[in-house]
Structure 1
């Protein structure tokens, strides 16, 4: 294993060479699928949509969020039966990340290495707020201003309730539920915050490498809430990443019943169960 990979592609390269076990030599994807979701929680003014590529390796499913329409049905179906090692070098970054995520989740299951937190049954908003409480609790004490990359209004609500100032950033721009402008250039804002809370989607946008380098250099806390790359991003814990809220498929928004997330951290964790 490279001592400090700077991106998921660098991690994928060493995994392809056997850094996470020689099972990579025969591992194959058995199922590929695309989940498309639209939501507007009751009582909220704004909605959002998600498209997620998921690949299955043995008993594990890895995922990567994509822009709507970015992947063809043929590309997704072609992943089924393909060797993982081959997909780790695929031209499409979402395929590389989903394959890496699935393989690492198979070889290093969350349940064996992280604290499980159950998001209890409820409405879509209730479950969103439960998850947000668990994610926000991964920030260290004393944080005053957080750069939030990948705007989720429930996370912002929980930060507001704790009296923590934040700068919201998202490639789509727009406004938060409270009419606050959403920036689109995260790295131009990072110096003005004393912690970062970022979606796992940064792994597929090019934001993760400079963000990781900044946090390694400055020691600034970096907590990730990850559906994309949930089993891959914990490999950066202690090497620029301080905490990960890892949420494997099926995600909380797919089921009204109990669902699980897993918390990785370099520090003692607040009990939110």
Structure 2
């Protein structure tokens, strides 16, 4: 599908040529906005969360590194406990260019996300379609987000979606549309309905019609194989992104077909109304 927002993003991405690493390189070169050597991170922080929604049998934990650049916050999720203690101190006061070259992938992604959020915020002028999330408890807001995410998939009932980064509300929304899914997550385990969760998503790429993936794949190094597969085979790759919410929209047309972008603060932090931003897909 081609929409005005899709055309805007495709011009930015130069279809077929831009990887996430190349996007980072352009940011370093100052090709996307101000010289990153002139911009400094004022605040760095982590957010740790554990959740078990009412009515759900299982729960999960999240940990997110966030960097504040002027009015923008960039984020990258990490496995709980995986971020070294000194990473936050390493980021505070550092210029963005140094963090874009940092040894830790989550720091590089959070820095790129903050930079792009600063340069290309989530506005209609940059291709975003704001979607309001009503106030409610954590499960209600999770389900509302899931509806917006799954609407970005253009698939008929009976088709199969590879879901990378299992969120039960997303699986529930896919089930309600009559879509089949292959759940994959590095943590493994089972879904709310007792289905086994595979740990190797790449091994299942040939068995799906489309891919629905978490922005966490940017931070753990599994995103590029998904993007390349989608580009090579003409499959839809829809991203739901708290990690890299400002990064992934720039890759629409270069393997990514649509993005549900959710910058900090995330829906699970606040029971009040919120906003997510959709790029590509059906209006």
Q: Which moved more, 1:34-43 or 1:103-112?
A: 103-112
Q: Which of 151, 158, 168 is equivalent to 2:166?
A: 151
Contact 1:2 1:14 in 2 (8 A): no
Aligned to 2:66: 54
Unpaired segments ≥5 residues, structure 2: 1-11
Aligned to 2:116: 104
Q: Which SS does the other structure have where 1:253 is aligned?
A: helix
Q: How does 1:1-273 map to 2 (within 5 A)?
A: 3=14, 4-6=17-19, 8-112=20-124, 113=126, 114-142=128-156, 144-265=159-280, 267-269=281-283
Q: Which SS does the other structure have where 2:230 is aligned?
A: helix
Runs of 4+ in 1 over 3 A off after TM superposition: none
Unpaired segments ≥5 residues, structure 1: none
What is the deviation of 1:24? 2.0
Contact 1:9 1:96 in 2 (8 A): no
Q: Distance in 2 between matches of 1:165 and 1:43?
A: 23
What is the deviation of 1:18? 1.0
Q: Distance in 1 between matches of 2:252 and 2:13?
A: 14
What is the deviation of 1:174? 0.5
Q: Distance in 1 between matches of 2:203 and 2:129?
A: 33
Q: Distance in 1 between matches of 2:212 and 2:151?
A: 11
What is the deviation of 1:268? 2.9
Q: Distance in 2 between matches of 1:205 and 1:74?
A: 19
TM-score (structure 2 length as normaliser):
0.91
Q: Distance in 1 between matches of 2:149 and 2:46?
A: 25
Q: Distance in 2 between matches of 1:97 and 1:70?
A: 15
TM-score (structure 1 length as normaliser):
0.95
Q: Distance in 1 between matches of 2:78 and 2:282?
A: 33
Please give the per-residue CA displacement for 1:13-35, whole angstroms capped at 9, x wherever unaligned. Answer: 22100121134231111100000
What is the deviation of 1:77? 2.2
Aligned pair count reads: 267
Q: Which SS does the other structure have where 1:180 is aligned?
A: coil
What is the deviation of 1:2? 8.2
Higher relative CO (Cα under 8 Å, sequence separation at least 6) belongs to 2
Q: Distance in 1 between matches of 2:206 and 2:86?
A: 42
Please give the per-residue CA displacement for 1:177-220, whole angstroms capped at 9, x wherever unaligned. Answer: 00000011101101111000000011122211111111111110
Q: Which SS does the other structure have where 2:246 is aligned?
A: coil
